Protein backbone atom coordinates (compact mmCIF):
# COMPACT_ATOMS: atom_id res chain seq x y z
CA UNK A 1 0.00 0.00 0.00
CA UNK A 2 2.86 2.35 0.77
CA UNK A 3 5.07 1.67 -2.23
CA UNK A 4 5.60 4.71 -4.45
CA UNK A 5 3.45 4.61 -7.56
CA UNK A 6 6.63 4.62 -9.65
CA UNK A 7 10.35 4.61 -9.05
CA UNK A 8 11.07 6.74 -12.08
CA UNK A 9 12.43 10.16 -11.18
CA UNK A 10 10.29 12.84 -12.87
CA UNK A 11 11.99 15.12 -15.33
CA UNK A 12 12.06 18.82 -14.45
CA UNK A 13 9.41 21.13 -15.89
CA UNK A 14 10.33 22.62 -19.22
CA UNK A 15 9.02 26.15 -18.66
CA UNK A 16 10.51 28.88 -16.49
CA UNK A 17 9.01 29.66 -13.11
CA UNK A 18 6.34 32.35 -13.49
CA UNK A 19 7.25 35.77 -12.17
CA UNK A 20 3.81 36.55 -10.71
CA UNK A 21 1.24 34.06 -9.43
CA UNK A 22 -2.17 34.82 -7.95
CA UNK A 23 -3.66 32.03 -5.82
CA UNK A 24 -7.41 32.20 -5.21
CA UNK A 25 -8.40 30.33 -2.08
CA UNK A 26 -4.80 30.68 -0.96
CA UNK A 27 -5.63 30.70 2.75
CA UNK A 28 -7.40 27.34 2.62
CA UNK A 29 -6.18 23.82 3.28
CA UNK A 30 -4.67 23.13 -0.15
CA UNK A 31 -4.11 26.78 -1.04
CA UNK A 32 -1.89 27.61 1.92
CA UNK A 33 0.40 24.67 1.08
CA UNK A 34 0.51 25.78 -2.55
CA UNK A 35 1.44 29.33 -1.59
CA UNK A 36 4.28 28.08 0.63
CA UNK A 37 5.64 25.91 -2.18
CA UNK A 38 5.33 28.66 -4.79
CA UNK A 39 7.29 31.08 -2.63
CA UNK A 40 10.32 28.84 -3.04
CA UNK A 41 10.26 29.28 -6.82
CA UNK A 42 8.48 32.54 -7.67
CA UNK A 43 9.45 36.15 -7.16
CA UNK A 44 5.99 37.21 -6.03
CA UNK A 45 2.82 35.43 -4.92
CA UNK A 46 -0.48 37.02 -3.97
CA UNK A 47 -3.46 35.49 -2.23
CA UNK A 48 -7.14 36.19 -2.85
CA UNK A 49 -9.48 34.56 -0.33
CA UNK A 50 -12.89 35.39 1.10
CA UNK A 51 -11.92 33.77 4.45
CA UNK A 52 -15.25 31.95 4.71
CA UNK A 53 -13.32 28.72 5.31
CA UNK A 54 -9.72 29.87 4.87
CA UNK A 55 -7.84 31.31 7.81
CA UNK A 56 -4.93 33.72 8.01
CA UNK A 57 -3.26 31.30 10.45
CA UNK A 58 -2.98 28.76 7.63
CA UNK A 59 -0.52 31.14 5.96
CA UNK A 60 1.93 31.08 8.88
CA UNK A 61 4.50 29.03 6.97
CA UNK A 62 4.08 31.23 3.88
CA UNK A 63 4.68 34.28 6.08
CA UNK A 64 7.91 32.74 7.26
CA UNK A 65 8.89 32.24 3.63
CA UNK A 66 8.32 35.86 2.66
CA UNK A 67 4.61 36.41 2.11
CA UNK A 68 3.69 39.84 3.47
CA UNK A 69 0.53 41.50 4.73
CA UNK A 70 0.23 43.48 1.49
CA UNK A 71 0.17 40.24 -0.55
CA UNK A 72 -3.07 38.97 1.05
CA UNK A 73 -6.43 40.20 -0.21
CA UNK A 74 -9.94 39.55 1.02
CA UNK A 75 -12.32 39.01 -1.87
CA UNK A 76 -14.96 36.90 -3.57
CA UNK A 77 -14.03 35.27 -6.89
CA UNK A 78 -17.55 35.91 -8.21
CA UNK A 79 -17.23 39.70 -8.09
CA UNK A 80 -16.14 42.35 -10.53
CA UNK A 81 -13.57 43.50 -7.99
CA UNK A 82 -11.81 40.12 -8.13
CA UNK A 83 -11.69 40.35 -11.91
CA UNK A 84 -10.34 43.90 -11.68
CA UNK A 85 -7.57 42.70 -9.37
CA UNK A 86 -6.38 40.29 -12.06
CA UNK A 87 -6.56 43.03 -14.67
CA UNK A 88 -4.55 45.49 -12.58
CA UNK A 89 -1.83 43.17 -11.29
CA UNK A 90 -1.64 41.08 -14.50
CA UNK A 91 -0.19 37.86 -13.05
CA UNK A 92 1.55 35.39 -15.34
CA UNK A 93 -0.37 32.49 -13.80
CA UNK A 94 -3.60 32.29 -11.83
CA UNK A 95 -4.05 29.24 -9.59
CA UNK A 96 -7.78 28.96 -9.01
CA UNK A 97 -8.39 26.95 -5.83
CA UNK A 98 -11.24 29.01 -4.36
CA UNK A 99 -14.52 27.17 -4.40
CA UNK A 100 -17.21 25.32 -2.52
CA UNK A 101 -15.50 22.02 -1.71
CA UNK A 102 -17.96 20.27 0.60
CA UNK A 103 -20.09 17.49 -0.89
CA UNK A 104 -22.63 17.63 1.99
CA UNK A 105 -22.92 21.42 1.53
CA UNK A 106 -23.42 20.94 -2.21
CA UNK A 107 -26.26 18.52 -1.50
CA UNK A 108 -27.87 20.92 0.97
CA UNK A 109 -27.62 23.88 -1.39
CA UNK A 110 -26.81 23.02 -5.00
CA UNK A 111 -27.65 26.61 -5.94
CA UNK A 112 -24.88 28.01 -3.77
CA UNK A 113 -22.48 25.30 -4.93
CA UNK A 114 -23.14 26.15 -8.58
CA UNK A 115 -22.91 29.87 -7.88
CA UNK A 116 -19.40 29.56 -6.42
CA UNK A 117 -17.95 26.71 -8.46
CA UNK A 118 -19.41 27.59 -11.86
CA UNK A 119 -19.93 31.35 -11.87
CA UNK A 120 -16.78 31.94 -9.82
CA UNK A 121 -14.72 29.90 -12.27
CA UNK A 122 -16.23 31.63 -15.28
CA UNK A 123 -15.53 35.04 -13.73
CA UNK A 124 -11.88 34.14 -13.09
CA UNK A 125 -11.43 32.60 -16.55
CA UNK A 126 -12.95 35.65 -18.21
CA UNK A 127 -10.69 37.96 -16.21
CA UNK A 128 -7.67 35.87 -17.22
CA UNK A 129 -8.52 36.35 -20.90
CA UNK A 130 -8.97 40.10 -20.52
CA UNK A 131 -5.90 40.41 -18.27
CA UNK A 132 -3.53 38.57 -20.58
CA UNK A 133 -2.85 35.77 -18.10
CA UNK A 134 -0.56 33.14 -19.63
CA UNK A 135 -1.95 30.11 -17.80
CA UNK A 136 -4.88 29.22 -15.54
CA UNK A 137 -4.30 26.29 -13.17
CA UNK A 138 -7.64 25.09 -11.87
CA UNK A 139 -8.67 22.74 -9.04
CA UNK A 140 -10.96 20.03 -10.37
CA UNK A 141 -11.84 16.77 -8.60
CA UNK A 142 -12.17 13.05 -9.13
CA UNK A 143 -15.89 13.69 -8.56
CA UNK A 144 -16.13 14.92 -12.18
CA UNK A 145 -15.94 11.30 -13.37
CA UNK A 146 -18.93 9.97 -11.48
CA UNK A 147 -19.33 6.24 -10.78
CA UNK A 148 -16.66 4.25 -12.63
CA UNK A 149 -17.29 0.82 -14.07
CA UNK A 150 -15.90 -2.17 -12.15
CA UNK A 151 -13.09 -2.77 -14.67
CA UNK A 152 -12.20 0.85 -15.48
CA UNK A 153 -9.98 1.74 -12.49
CA UNK A 154 -7.71 3.57 -12.30
CA UNK A 155 -9.53 6.16 -14.41
CA UNK A 156 -7.69 8.09 -17.10
CA UNK A 157 -8.51 11.60 -18.25
CA UNK A 158 -10.28 10.18 -21.31
CA UNK A 159 -13.03 8.81 -19.08
CA UNK A 160 -16.32 10.69 -19.65
CA UNK A 161 -17.17 13.48 -17.25
CA UNK A 162 -20.30 11.89 -15.80
CA UNK A 163 -20.63 13.37 -12.32
CA UNK A 164 -23.42 12.00 -10.14
CA UNK A 165 -23.71 14.65 -7.40
CA UNK A 166 -24.01 18.45 -7.31
CA UNK A 167 -20.38 19.02 -6.34
CA UNK A 168 -19.05 16.82 -9.13
CA UNK A 169 -21.44 18.39 -11.61
CA UNK A 170 -20.33 21.94 -10.79
CA UNK A 171 -16.67 20.93 -11.03
CA UNK A 172 -17.27 19.19 -14.38
CA UNK A 173 -19.09 22.23 -15.76
CA UNK A 174 -16.12 24.37 -14.72
CA UNK A 175 -13.79 22.14 -16.75
CA UNK A 176 -16.10 22.39 -19.77
CA UNK A 177 -16.08 26.19 -19.48
CA UNK A 178 -12.28 26.26 -19.35
CA UNK A 179 -12.14 24.16 -22.48
CA UNK A 180 -14.52 26.60 -24.17
CA UNK A 181 -12.31 29.53 -23.16
CA UNK A 182 -9.36 27.66 -24.61
CA UNK A 183 -11.09 27.13 -27.96
CA UNK A 184 -12.72 30.54 -28.22
CA UNK A 185 -10.15 32.80 -26.58
CA UNK A 186 -6.90 30.87 -26.54
CA UNK A 187 -6.74 30.64 -22.72
CA UNK A 188 -4.34 27.87 -21.82
CA UNK A 189 -5.28 25.91 -18.73
CA UNK A 190 -4.47 22.87 -16.65
CA UNK A 191 -7.35 21.46 -14.61
CA UNK A 192 -6.02 19.20 -11.88
CA UNK A 193 -8.45 16.44 -10.91
CA UNK A 194 -7.43 15.81 -7.32
CA UNK A 195 -8.03 12.53 -5.56
CA UNK A 196 -9.04 12.71 -1.90
CA UNK A 197 -6.56 15.21 -0.51
CA UNK A 198 -5.53 14.72 3.10
CA UNK A 199 -2.98 16.03 5.54
CA UNK A 200 -2.76 18.07 8.74
CA UNK A 201 -6.14 19.77 9.28
CA UNK A 202 -6.19 23.49 8.56
CA UNK A 203 -6.43 25.83 11.51
CA UNK A 204 -10.09 26.34 12.47
CA UNK A 205 -11.19 24.88 9.14
CA UNK A 206 -12.57 21.69 7.65
CA UNK A 207 -10.71 18.41 7.72
CA UNK A 208 -10.19 15.36 5.54
CA UNK A 209 -11.45 11.92 6.57
CA UNK A 210 -7.85 11.04 7.50
CA UNK A 211 -7.65 13.99 9.89
CA UNK A 212 -11.10 13.26 11.31
CA UNK A 213 -10.18 9.64 12.08
CA UNK A 214 -6.83 10.51 13.65
CA UNK A 215 -8.28 13.40 15.68
CA UNK A 216 -11.00 11.10 17.06
CA UNK A 217 -8.43 8.50 18.10
CA UNK A 218 -6.22 11.16 19.69
CA UNK A 219 -9.24 12.40 21.65
CA UNK A 220 -10.04 8.89 22.83
CA UNK A 221 -13.32 8.94 20.90
CA UNK A 222 -14.76 6.09 18.84
CA UNK A 223 -14.52 7.09 15.16
CA UNK A 224 -17.65 6.76 13.04
CA UNK A 225 -17.49 5.11 9.61
CA UNK A 226 -20.43 5.39 7.25
CA UNK A 227 -21.61 2.13 5.70
CA UNK A 228 -19.51 -1.02 5.65
CA UNK A 229 -16.27 0.94 5.18
CA UNK A 230 -15.35 -0.94 2.02
CA UNK A 231 -15.88 2.12 -0.20
CA UNK A 232 -12.53 3.16 -1.68
CA UNK A 233 -10.87 6.45 -2.51
CA UNK A 234 -7.51 7.53 -3.92
CA UNK A 235 -5.88 9.36 -1.01
CA UNK A 236 -3.12 11.83 -1.91
CA UNK A 237 -1.16 13.92 0.58
CA UNK A 238 -1.50 17.69 0.41
CA UNK A 239 2.27 18.15 0.10
CA UNK A 240 2.25 16.05 -3.06
CA UNK A 241 -0.73 18.05 -4.33
CA UNK A 242 1.06 21.36 -3.72
CA UNK A 243 4.09 20.06 -5.61
CA UNK A 244 1.83 19.12 -8.52
CA UNK A 245 0.34 22.61 -8.63
CA UNK A 246 3.81 24.17 -8.70
CA UNK A 247 4.77 21.85 -11.56
CA UNK A 248 1.63 22.84 -13.45
CA UNK A 249 2.55 26.52 -13.07
CA UNK A 250 5.88 25.85 -14.77
CA UNK A 251 4.56 23.76 -17.68
CA UNK A 252 2.39 24.51 -20.72
CA UNK A 253 -1.36 24.05 -20.32
CA UNK A 254 -2.23 20.36 -20.40
CA UNK A 255 -6.03 20.32 -20.04
CA UNK A 256 -7.41 17.83 -17.53
CA UNK A 257 -4.72 16.05 -15.47
CA UNK A 258 -5.27 13.55 -12.64
CA UNK A 259 -3.37 14.18 -9.39
CA UNK A 260 -3.53 11.15 -7.11
CA UNK A 261 -1.66 7.92 -6.37
CA UNK A 262 -3.36 5.48 -8.73
CA UNK A 263 -4.30 3.22 -5.79
CA UNK A 264 -7.59 2.43 -4.08
CA UNK A 265 -7.76 2.45 -0.30
CA UNK A 266 -10.90 1.45 1.58
CA UNK A 267 -12.01 3.45 4.60
CA UNK A 268 -11.54 0.31 6.69
CA UNK A 269 -7.95 -0.04 5.48
CA UNK A 270 -7.37 3.66 6.13
CA UNK A 271 -8.64 3.22 9.68
CA UNK A 272 -6.36 0.23 10.23
CA UNK A 273 -3.38 2.33 9.14
CA UNK A 274 -4.40 5.13 11.52
CA UNK A 275 -4.74 2.65 14.41
CA UNK A 276 -1.31 1.19 13.68
CA UNK A 277 0.35 4.61 13.54
CA UNK A 278 -1.27 5.62 16.83
CA UNK A 279 -0.80 2.24 18.50
CA UNK A 280 -4.45 1.86 19.55
CA UNK A 281 -6.87 -1.05 19.26
CA UNK A 282 -10.25 0.72 19.25
CA UNK A 283 -12.82 -0.53 16.78
CA UNK A 284 -14.72 2.00 14.69
CA UNK A 285 -18.45 2.54 15.01
CA UNK A 286 -20.27 1.81 11.74
CA UNK A 287 -23.52 3.63 10.95
CA UNK A 288 -25.75 3.47 7.87
CA UNK A 289 -24.43 5.58 5.03
CA UNK A 290 -26.55 8.75 4.66
CA UNK A 291 -26.07 8.56 0.87
CA UNK A 292 -25.97 4.88 -0.11
CA UNK A 293 -25.73 5.75 -3.82
CA UNK A 294 -22.44 7.58 -3.29
CA UNK A 295 -19.55 6.61 -5.57
CA UNK A 296 -18.37 3.20 -4.34
CA UNK A 297 -14.84 2.97 -5.72
CA UNK A 298 -12.30 5.44 -7.08
CA UNK A 299 -8.69 5.54 -8.22
CA UNK A 300 -7.06 7.77 -10.82
CA UNK A 301 -4.46 6.98 -13.47
CA UNK A 302 -1.65 9.55 -13.12
CA UNK A 303 0.35 8.68 -16.25
CA UNK A 304 -0.49 12.04 -17.84
CA UNK A 305 0.80 13.89 -14.76
CA UNK A 306 4.13 12.13 -15.18
CA UNK A 307 4.27 12.80 -18.93
CA UNK A 308 3.16 16.44 -18.95
CA UNK A 309 4.19 17.68 -15.51
CA UNK A 310 7.00 15.35 -14.52
CA UNK A 311 5.06 14.60 -11.32
CA UNK A 312 4.14 11.56 -9.29
CA UNK A 313 3.12 11.07 -5.69
CA UNK A 314 5.95 10.51 -3.22
CA UNK A 315 4.26 10.15 0.18
CA UNK A 316 2.83 6.72 0.98
CA UNK A 317 -0.32 6.39 3.04
CA UNK A 318 1.34 5.22 6.25
CA UNK A 319 3.87 8.04 6.06
CA UNK A 320 1.14 10.55 5.27
CA UNK A 321 -0.97 9.44 8.21
CA UNK A 322 2.11 9.62 10.46
CA UNK A 323 2.74 13.21 9.33
CA UNK A 324 -0.90 14.07 9.97
CA UNK A 325 -0.74 12.61 13.46
CA UNK A 326 2.51 14.42 14.27
CA UNK A 327 1.04 17.77 13.26
CA UNK A 328 -2.16 17.14 15.20
CA UNK A 329 -0.11 16.35 18.30
CA UNK A 330 2.05 19.44 17.81
CA UNK A 331 -1.00 21.67 17.67
CA UNK A 332 -2.31 20.29 20.93
CA UNK A 333 0.63 21.95 22.68
CA UNK A 334 -0.55 25.35 21.41
CA UNK A 335 -0.36 27.19 18.10
CA UNK A 336 0.84 30.74 17.65
CA UNK A 337 0.83 32.41 14.26
CA UNK A 338 3.76 34.72 13.48
CA UNK A 339 3.19 38.40 14.09
CA UNK A 340 3.09 39.20 10.38
CA UNK A 341 0.13 36.90 9.96
CA UNK A 342 -1.98 38.65 12.59
CA UNK A 343 -1.09 42.31 12.22
CA UNK A 344 -3.51 43.44 9.56
CA UNK A 345 -2.60 40.92 6.88
CA UNK A 346 -6.09 41.34 5.45
CA UNK A 347 -7.48 44.60 6.69
CA UNK A 348 -4.36 46.62 5.91
CA UNK A 349 -4.11 45.71 2.24
CA UNK A 350 -3.64 48.12 -0.64
CA UNK A 351 -6.65 49.49 -2.57
CA UNK A 352 -7.01 46.30 -4.60
CA UNK A 353 -8.64 44.74 -1.52
CA UNK A 354 -12.01 46.32 -2.27
CA UNK A 355 -13.42 42.90 -3.23
CA UNK A 356 -16.68 42.01 -1.52
CA UNK A 357 -16.93 39.30 1.11
CA UNK A 358 -18.43 36.08 -0.17
CA UNK A 359 -22.10 35.47 0.45
CA UNK A 360 -22.51 32.63 2.92
CA UNK A 361 -24.42 29.45 1.98
CA UNK A 362 -27.99 29.24 3.25
CA UNK A 363 -28.51 27.00 6.29
Report, as residue numbers or ranges, the catalytic residues.
Answer: 167
C-alpha span between 207 and 200 (Å, rounded): 8
Amino acid sequence: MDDPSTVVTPSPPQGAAPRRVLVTGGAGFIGSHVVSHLLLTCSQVRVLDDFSTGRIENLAEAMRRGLTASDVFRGDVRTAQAAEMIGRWRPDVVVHLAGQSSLPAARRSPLFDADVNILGTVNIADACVRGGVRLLVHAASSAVYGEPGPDSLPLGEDHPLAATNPYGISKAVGVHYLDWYRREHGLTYTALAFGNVYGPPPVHGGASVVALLTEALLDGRLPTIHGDGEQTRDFVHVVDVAAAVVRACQCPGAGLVNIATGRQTSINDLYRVARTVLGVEAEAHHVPHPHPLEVRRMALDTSKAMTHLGWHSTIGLTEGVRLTVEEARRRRFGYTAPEAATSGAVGGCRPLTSCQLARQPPP
